[in-house]
Structure 1
């Protein structure tokens, strides 16, 4: 069975880069981003992800430079110096060690130079429990953008983020757990946590609270076993976001697309092992949002097309607007739906 939906990514990712002026500038700025910390002022470092999305939507080199300068001034934090080195034989001993991000990044960067990015990604995903909720899903998203850009430094940073901030969602094995479609599973877990007030400030902290709550293990449903589950998740997340444009739900849309990029590098047997972790992470995110009580949102007949939406997104300094618009564009190209254009149009306006 083919889980990957055929995104053509070569085993040599991170080696060959496009040499047109736009991507030369993109690589220059991604290299410069290495001086920034994993965290940023009040957020995480979204700069490299936004730069890749801007470039792929057709932004000019000047626009990329302007966004980078804005981010450096308003949000960036300098990365602390790396005072120790981590060998590729001991990276697993630093799982969950936030302070090891810089050293892990250098470890993975050296390893990629020797073995190639695809081989390193496969090894990491085979040897550490999959934790897509890490850094509010941004670790996987950053890794996927690094893969798309073919930038070894960003691939290494995504892997280092995933390992150093590792946030698995542990669910006890239960052969009696009922299977459900994605939409039903999201609704079911949201209802189970209806009325629960989460006071934590961040998506990550709220997901941690859900994962530690016994009600989650009792209420969460099991994913159906089939090859097109990722497609079903993509449709369910954009449907949920259109009807309820919640900030957390936005991240479920962007991470589902990011996982598709990563899974395209892995064999089907490994993907089938990783898929439940994605399912439970998405369910945990929906538990933090609570039950949907709004009314059906009709798709407004807008006099706007994708070039207009992308132009507005490119002009934005909001990294989430940029990334979500790019995600909607990519997913619409893969599986056309009016919800993608409508959601992106609403976001940029």
Structure 2
């Protein structure tokens, strides 16, 4: 997260967010993620406070009392236990104080299934934003969400042919599952249904093996969002950005070991929207010279996103802006415009 005079305001609000449950009224608790994105785009203390107050009023649920004990001996046993979120968050927060955030993140991700799709990618996004904000409580919350809402997608059960590209991997799934319907309203429920679908397990290829795989997946997700305007694919885009944030804080060897989990989550999300056919050239991110008009457009878009009360508009705009800074492409600008004006 870019440092600013507003770091203290963000820290205090993230501290206050610990009083809220991991879920909200009919939704996940997006508040801390949106606050981090707002601060990253330059929102001031008054705007951060106003968003927090709005969220608590409309969606906030009080965190339940912690009734179970989590410690160094049993925390891995809480994998998949949604009721353990609060106890896990408290344990991880104390562990971070003792050992440092990066060390704890590496330990946790090395001992439980990484499962980026957990909580419809929100657990991973919360962890990534917490790491950039350097907020121990949010780092602990992201880890607790990844463990307690763990949604692994097992790739180890069969020998798999390796895809040469994201397109080849998606094409194999599309040929087998194009039009498949997973109709639950919740993204996470549809992802679980895909993970247990025999055709998905049979036709999921091993991930492409090259150094730029994370970039290729991020570009493909953005291109798929542009093609489909899918709410689920928006989570793929913001989830892959969060993956980049998390991987910046762990050893490269561990990040490489976790990449197949990212691939499996991405493929499951693709199938959850019906595995629509996509041509290879549609997944190639156009990389354009930076135009003067784009440089002028971004400040206006950021201000519109900062003024929004829609957490998905806020996170998607922030993601597109940050990814544009890494690799300028008009598609990031166009995607941000679409989500703001939708």
> Fold conserved (TM > 0.5)?
yes
Normalising by structure 2, what TM-score? 0.92
**Larger displacement relative to structure 2 (131-140 or 220-229):** 220-229
Q: Is 1:76 equivalent to 2:60 in the alignment?
A: yes
Normalising by structure 1, what TM-score? 0.90
Aligned position for 1:255: 239
Task: Name the SS of the counterpart of 1:305 in structure 2.
Answer: helix
Aligned position for 1:108: 92
1:70-117 alpha-carbon deviations (Å, 9 max, x no partner) = 000000111101123311232111111111100000000000000000
Which whole-Å CA distance do the structure 2 matches of 1:99 and 1:177 have between them?
38
Aligned position for 1:6: none
Which whole-Å CA distance do the structure 1 matches of 2:32 and 2:175 have between them?
36
Which whole-Å CA distance do the structure 1 matches of 2:47 and 2:210 have between them?
42
Aligned match for 1:124, one of 98, 108, 125: 108
Task: Name the SS of the counterpart of 1:35 in structure 2.
Answer: coil
Aligned position for 1:144: 128
Which whole-Å CA distance do the structure 2 matches of 1:68 and 1:268 have between them?
35
Task: Name the SS of the counterpart of 2:151 in structure 1.
Answer: coil
Aligned match for 1:335, one of 298, 315, 327: 327
Task: Name the SS of the counterpart of 2:61 in structure 1.
Answer: strand
Which whole-Å CA distance do the structure 1 matches of 2:55 and 2:219 have between them?
32
Aligned position for 1:276: 260
Q: How do 1:42-57 residues align onto structure 2 when only pairs under 5 Å count?
A: 42-57=26-41
Tell me if the contact between 1:190 and 1:289 (Cα under 8 Å) persists in the aligned partners.
no
Provide closer, same or farther for how the CA distance between residues 293 and 272 of structure 1 changes in structure 2, counting only shifts above 3 A.
closer
Aligned position for 1:158: 142
How far 1:176 sits from its partner (Å)? 4.5
Q: Name the Cα RMSD after superposition.
A: 2.2
How far 1:185 sits from its partner (Å)? 2.0
Gaps of 5+ in 2: none
Which whole-Å CA distance do the structure 2 matches of 1:288 and 1:309 have between them?
30
How far 1:271 sits from its partner (Å)? 1.5
Tell me if the contact between 1:134 and 1:162 (Cα under 8 Å) persists in the aligned partners.
yes
**Aligned length, in residue pairs:** 332
Aligned position for 1:234: 218
Aligned position for 2:200: 216
Q: How do 1:149-188 residues align onto structure 2 when only pairs under 5 Å count?
A: 149-188=133-172
Tell me if the contact between 1:190 and 1:288 (Cα under 8 Å) persists in the aligned partners.
no
Provide closer, same or farther for how the CA distance between residues 291 and 87 of structure 1 changes in structure 2, counting only shifts above 3 A.
closer
Tell me if the contact between 1:88 and 1:108 (Cα under 8 Å) persists in the aligned partners.
no
**Higher relative contact order by CA 8 Å / sep ≥ 6: 1 or 2?**
1
1:196-247 alpha-carbon deviations (Å, 9 max, x no partner) = 2222111100010011010001111221111111111111111111122100
Gaps of 5+ in 1: 1-8, 10-16
Which whole-Å CA distance do the structure 2 matches of 1:175 and 1:223 have between them?
12
Which whole-Å CA distance do the structure 1 matches of 2:318 and 2:76 have between them?
33
